[in-house]
Structure 1
Amino acid sequence: MLAACSAGAGNSGGTGNNTGGSGQQTLTVGLGAAPANLDFTQTAGAAIPQALMYNVYEGLVKLDEHADVKPLLATSWKISDGGTKYDFTLRSGVKFSNGDPFNADVVKFSLDRVPDWKANTPTYLSAIRSVSVVSPTEVMINLKQPDNNLLFWLAGPLGAMFSPNAVDDLATTAIGTGPYLLDRYNRGESLILKRNDNYWGTEAQLATATLRYYNDANAPVNALRSGDLDVVYQTQAADQVKQFQADDQYNVQIGATTGITVMSMNNARPPFNDRRVRLAIIYGVDRDAINTTATNGYGKVLGGPVAPTDPWYVDLSKKYPYDPQKAKQLLAEAGKSKLTVDFTVPSLPYAQTIAQVVKSDLAKIGVTANLQTQEFPAVWLDKTFTQHDYDLTVINHVEARNVFNYADPSYYWSYRNKAVQKQLTDAVAAPSQQAFVAGMKTAVNGIVDDAAADWLYNAPNIVIAKKSVAGVNADDTGVSLDLTKASNPK
């Protein structure tokens, strides 16, 4: 990091009340998992920020479609020599949708609250020592030590700006500075956004955007065919992709994601506190078959906790190849030739599909997996994620750079490895991007050598839309379904 290094100087959007939002365009999007509520400070689950970040809530910076950090409520920033001070220049004249002003005091208020969050891993910003108000349009973030991830985390939910007068009931209300207002949320069914006509930047082209949630993989694509939807985002009916590609009424995009579908083993609970058993499970499950069954082959088989979009990605898919005999040998060495485990599976179509393949594969190596379906998000987030009450589970972690949770023993994986913790900590504080990437590769190798989990595949983002739809990007950064450029002239 260089002294006075200016990043992303310039404007992101217009200067307010442009003509982009003059029409009455609408967009209806079909999605899978629904938000449990609207408070991503206290409730886990990617569905809440997916709907609200960049659309309703904004931060100092955001990720563009290439996952590069760009200005948003900050116009520019400078990083001190040594990387421990970030000096942000803020936009002036920005207001929340309730009329409250956005300024440096709001930045301090919002970031000072993060340590009290119960969700979205507030420890990601633990390098922050203090936030200092320099002037209404300038704020200084002071770090305990350098953090190569700081701007990246500030571009996600942890960096969301909240009005001090609008945080009493975040579970049911959302007051932000973004191009959309929350109109209403029908829990488990739909979330409706409407254009913010007083937005500081370029107004949204959509008058309303409706997000509809479905538990069944085929229901949203059927709704698209019938005209009830304009877009299906993160399509789970991968077997129908070719039909839509052959129909000139639709556009099909297959985008990159940060998502890692991981079969997690509770490292704190027998038998998975034994590395040999964890390795046996990895050798005993056919990741290629799972990818084919769950994604119709559109996903990318993994073998480590890193998506190909990250700069420290290395293809580890061949490190532990499918080898049932090797799995049996490891189980015998561990004295677990006959093993029964509980497999708690969220009620999501892809997870249910994966569970059947895993159950069959494990039976071949002498492991009985008792499948227990848990309602998602409510039950799975409570029992498995929060209470850590599980043996084996599977979920697609769509949030970016989830690998850093392997440094947190309190995360639901219950993974504790002091060497890995130090490697991740050292990498984040490295003096250069090159050293950061090298340190991350070392840490990832340590995690994989320890067989902390079975990383199945990098999920694709399949987006199927009517020809009229534009501005819905298929490359998913793991933060938001960003509708700021979406349009649907019919």
Structure 2
Amino acid sequence: MRDVTPTPALHRRSFLKYTGALGAAAAVSSSLSACSAGPESTNDTGGGGSGGNSTLTAVIGYGNDGSWDPTQTASAFSMAANNHIYEGLLDTDPISREPYAALATQVPADLTGTSWKFELRPGARFHDGKPVTADDVVFVFDRILDPKTQTLGKGFFASWLKEVRKIDAMNVELVLKFPFPEGVSRLTLAKVMPKHVFSKPGAWDEAIRGKAIGSGPYRQTAHHPKSNTTFEAFADYNGPRKAAFKKMNWLTMVDAAPRVAKISGASAGAPIADNIPYANIEQLKKGGMTVQGGAGMNNLFLMFNTQHKPFDDVRVRQALHYAIDTDKMVQVALKGHGRASSSFLNEGNPSYRPAKTVYAYDPEKAKQLLADAGVEGLKVDIMAVNVSWIVDCLPTIKASWDAIGVETTLDPQETTAVFTKMDQKQDYQVVAAASNPNQFGLDADLIMHYNYGPQNLWMGYARWAGDPVAKKLFKDMDQATQEPDATRKKTMIQDYIDVVAEQAVLYPVVHNELMTAWDPRKLTGIRAQPYPGINLLQAKWA
């Protein structure tokens, strides 16, 4: 495997176990066992109050039964929880993604070299009372960079990070393959874990199932897959973002109706929830809730099987994108909370520029492209994940394709079913699904490598990696990663995104907002994220 592998070529079954969701967009069933006996009541006993010893109850619209291993997971629930339980050398602001010193005492002043040195925070302890040392830092990075160990984290570090060295008990050095200033924000993805706990036989399997011991402001007190996870403030935490809530109880409620009901009315059982359906926004506002959206990379994408004719022809892929009435989709399905994609990146990304190919609604052009490709009487089956907002968007795609003479069948199903079929290399035509790489960060190099690359999981599903255009694209991506000049790098990334847009192998149709609701009479300091989950490290009782 090359160092620049963007996303580990995991077997899909393992990938689903690690992530718990496709791009953290849908819950995935599993048979994981609880980490402690007998679930705590999921009915909060203090979330309706505020201050003192009250428990903050939060409702998360994603499953808590995905992997909790920080080196592996893309699960919305566990990634959000791990940001409260664990620390990186540096962590990042949940909105701006600016790095700040977490376990390290400071952010390196010079990011232009190939050596970054960090001193660990004096007195930092893990939740079991043991001190945090350089050995723990090296332990985690060694796992991520180990060529024999397949982790999701490898795709975020292996292309630019050579090794992590112990200087002494409280100091480490990161040795880079080449200058890579963007890497400093990625250090939050390498959560420091206690070597004395997770080096034991079977410990990584326990981490997947939910065992979490970090050095962050909250320690996990119970974990019950498909039900709830509880936390309490860690008394010995001496870092920069102290716990404001003595206890927290995070409920997993994937179904929208009970999630909205839990935060509604005078007897609401929780003051905050994420993943709010657009149809419930006004209802919640009238009830006194604040409802805000975060616009980012959350998107509905189409992925074509390029080995199933006629989808090997770029003109056919383009035609089907041009045919979609995206304005109607945004207004009807997304209730105005989205935008038609004009690049792979969303418009708020620092590296965004409109792609040279923008799929504005043009049914006549779509018909002409199909005619040019010699395609008549095309019948398409869209295999889609059954995420609620994706399902809401599907009728617009069907109506649009039917209107240009493409007979379209919608086939929404469980996420696991969709990707098990691709794992088994079953034939398919088009997949419609959701993705949001913003949970890992904002930098365009990370986002694009998460989706495209020679051994990338998604490119394996699209069966495109062997195409000559793909090989040239991957080479251009590698060169952009190593480009030292920031302005030049940005241009190089924008240029290869033009190729991604033109080829339309895996490409977003719309980017949408993710909505968070909270009671401002009870909570303050909440900020809506443009990716799944919540971050309460700067929140407090009102």
TM-score (norm. length: structure 1): 0.85
Q: Is the 8 A contact 1:178 1:196 kept in 2?
A: yes
Pick from 461, 468, 473 the counterpart of residue 420 of structure 1: 473
Counterpart for residue 5 of structure 1? none
The CA distance in 1 between the partners of 2:131 and 2:519, in whole Å, is 39
Pick from 174, 187, 193 the counterpart of residue 162 of structure 1: 193
Q: Which amino acid aligns with 1:50?
A: M
Matched, 1:203 2:257: no
Counterpart for residue 105 of structure 2? 75
- The Cα of 1:424 is off from its aligned counterpart by 2.2
Question: Aligned runs of 1:52-63 on 2, under 5 Å?
Answer: 52-63=81-92
Count residues in correspondence: 463
Q: Which amino acid aligns with 1:460?
A: E
Pick from 118, 132, 141 the counterpart of residue 111 of structure 1: 141
CA shift digits 1:282-311 (9 cap, x unpaired): 111122222223321122321321123321
Aligned CA RMSD, in angstroms, stands at 2.8
Pick from 484, 500, 504 the counterpart of residue 447 of structure 1: 500
Q: Which amino acid aligns with 1:403?
A: M
Q: Is the 8 A contact 1:302 1:317 kept in 2?
A: no
Pick from 524, 534, 539 the counterpart of residue 481 of structure 1: 534
The CA distance in 1 between the partners of 2:337 and 2:290, in whole Å, is 16
Counterpart for residue 14 of structure 1? none
Counterpart for residue 356 of structure 1? 395
Counterpart for residue 320 of structure 1? 359
- The Cα of 1:317 is off from its aligned counterpart by 9.9
Pick from 284, 287, 291 the counterpart of residue 330 of structure 2: 291
- The Cα of 1:34 is off from its aligned counterpart by 1.1
CA shift digits 1:419-447 (9 cap, x unpaired): 32233222222223222222221121121
Structure 1 unpaired stretches of 5+: 1-20
Question: Aligned runs of 1:394-433 on 2, under 5 Å?
Answer: 394-400=432-438, 401=444, 402-409=447-454, 410-413=456-459, 414=462, 415-416=464-465, 417-433=470-486
Counterpart for residue 391 of structure 1? 429
In structure 2, relative to structure 1, the CA distance for the partners of 1:28 and 1:323 (3 Å cut) is: same
Deviating more after overlay: 286-295 vs 409-418: 409-418
Counterpart for residue 6 of structure 2? none
Matched, 1:90 2:135: no
Matched, 1:171 2:208: yes
Q: Which amino acid aligns with 1:164?
A: K
Pick from 255, 278, 288 the counterpart of residue 238 of structure 1: 278
- The Cα of 1:96 is off from its aligned counterpart by 1.4
In structure 2, relative to structure 1, the CA distance for the partners of 1:329 and 1:428 (3 Å cut) is: same
The CA distance in 2 between the partners of 1:379 and 1:99, in whole Å, is 43
Matched, 1:99 2:104: no
Q: Which amino acid aligns with 1:197?
A: A
The CA distance in 1 between the partners of 2:496 and 2:426, in whole Å, is 24
Counterpart for residue 15 of structure 1? none
Counterpart for residue 50 of structure 1? 79
TM-score (norm. length: structure 2): 0.78
Q: Is the 8 A contact 1:190 1:210 kept in 2?
A: yes
- The Cα of 1:51 is off from its aligned counterpart by 2.8
Question: Aligned runs of 1:244-263 on 2, under 5 Å?
Answer: 244-247=284-287, 249-263=288-302
The CA distance in 2 between the partners of 1:388 and 1:89, in whole Å, is 51
Matched, 1:182 2:220: yes
The CA distance in 1 between the partners of 2:422 and 2:540, in whole Å, is 39
Q: Is the 8 A contact 1:284 1:327 kept in 2?
A: yes
Q: Is the 8 A contact 1:77 1:86 kept in 2?
A: no
Counterpart for residue 11 of structure 1? none
Aligned partner of residue 344 in structure 1, secondary structure: strand
Q: Which amino acid aligns with 2:157?
A: L
- The Cα of 1:50 is off from its aligned counterpart by 3.2
Counterpart for residue 488 of structure 2? 435
